[in-house]
Amino acid sequence: MKKIGIISDIHGNLHSFESVISALGKEGVDEVWCLGDIVGYGAFPRECIELAKETCSIILGGNHDLAVASKISLSEFNYEAREAVEWTVEQLEESEIKFLGELEPIKKISVLNFTVLLSHGSPVNPVWEYVFTGADAARAFYAMEAEGVSICFLGHSHVQMVAAERNGEVAIERPEKFSIEKNKMVILNPGSVGQPRDYDPRAAYIVLHNDYQIEFRRVEYDVDAAAKAIVEAGLPPFLAARLKTGY
Ligand code: ZN
């Protein structure tokens, strides 16, 4: 019996990360996969790196992780994201920066008789490209076909969702449960642990069961404490405010 927790976009939010890890412990998962962006925005990058190393069997690199490690340019980041990357670099040890810089943004794995693509953003461009719309997902499906996979878990948008074919079109849905079917193209996003942007401030994750049933979950955490720590760290106050609205 294998059960897997899938998480993404922790963004230095230790309060939400601890809540999710504790919830996954209660769920009895055998493994946790992280789809990237351990750091950036939140006040606890070091603690989140440590907890990710302790608890996750697979960790991808997101755009924030790679920017902190100077592997990608800061020019595409907005003001708050850039400030947060620069602040995060100052907090980390050399070895932690090196760890982030070595993370890959995309990985193909075999599990439970399926081959699955794990990617931070769209497999079209796993570091930068978002999957928000049916059109984004349709483009991603081509990239998945080129890799010979029909199932992709990805993060980056901070929005929990499924993209699947419905009557010849690619539709975005937000169900609580979903059944993966062999050879049907599907993209699943667990949402964000540390900075949800789907108007629900609770931390988000996925539980993948061994019969390929998916459950989308949310868990409460101490949003006020995480927000207060962001302000006290001198990070842009907007990064604290958006945790409370979940957007
Ligand atoms: Zn992110």
Binned at pLDDT 50, 70 and 90, residue 1 comes out as low
Q: What is the pLDDT of residues 139-178, one digit of tens each?
A: 999 999 999 999 999 999 999 999 999 888 999 999 999 9
Q: Which residues surround ligand 1, an ion (CB under 5 A)?
A: 9, 37
Q: Which residues 6+ apart lie within 8 Å of 113 measured at CB?
A: none
The whole-angstrom separation of Cα 66 and Cα 115 is 26
Phi, psi at 218, each rounded to 5°: -130, 145
> CB neighbours of 19 closer than 8 A, spacing ≥ 6?
203, 219, 220, 221, 222
191 Cα: distance to centroid of ligand 1 (angstroms) = 9
Q: How many CB atoms lie within 10 A of CB 244?
A: 12
| H/E stretch holding 130 | none
Give me the pLDDT at residue 27, please.
Answer: 95
Q: Which residue has the higher pLDDT, 76 or 87?
A: 87
Task: Indicate the pLDDT class of residue 206, thresholds 50, 70 and 90.
Answer: very high
Mean pLDDT of the chain: 96
Could you tell me what percent of the chain has a pLDDT over 70? Answer: 100
Given this model, what pLDDT does residue 84 score? 97
226-243: average pLDDT? 97
How far, in Å, CA of 203 to CA of 233, rounded?
A: 21
What's the gap in Å between 129 CA and the centre of ligand 1?
11
CA 157 to ligand 1 centroid distance, Å = 7
41 CA to centre of ligand 1 in angstroms: 9
Q: What is the mean predicted confidence (pLDDT) over 183-197?
A: 97
Cα–Cα dist 65/93, whole Å: 14
Give the Cβ contact number of residue 202 at 10 Å: 17
Count CB atoms within 10 A of the CB of residue 95: 8
Instruction: For residue 1, report the distance from its CA to the centre of ligand 1, in Å.
Output: 31
User: With 90 as the cut, is the pLDDT of residue 114 above it?
Assistant: no
Q: Is 9 helix (H, G, I), strand (E, B) or coil?
A: coil
What's the gap in Å between 167 CA and the centre of ligand 1? Answer: 31
Centre of ligand 1 from the C-alpha of residue 80, in Å: 13
- Residue that is written with structure tokens 């049933």 in the block: 213
Place of tokens 């990710």: 52
Determine the distance separating the centroid of ligand 1 and the alpha carbon of 168, expressed in angstroms: 31
169 Cα to the center of ligand 1, angstroms: 27
Determine the angle formed by the axes of helices 79-91 and 238-245, rounding to 10 degrees.
110
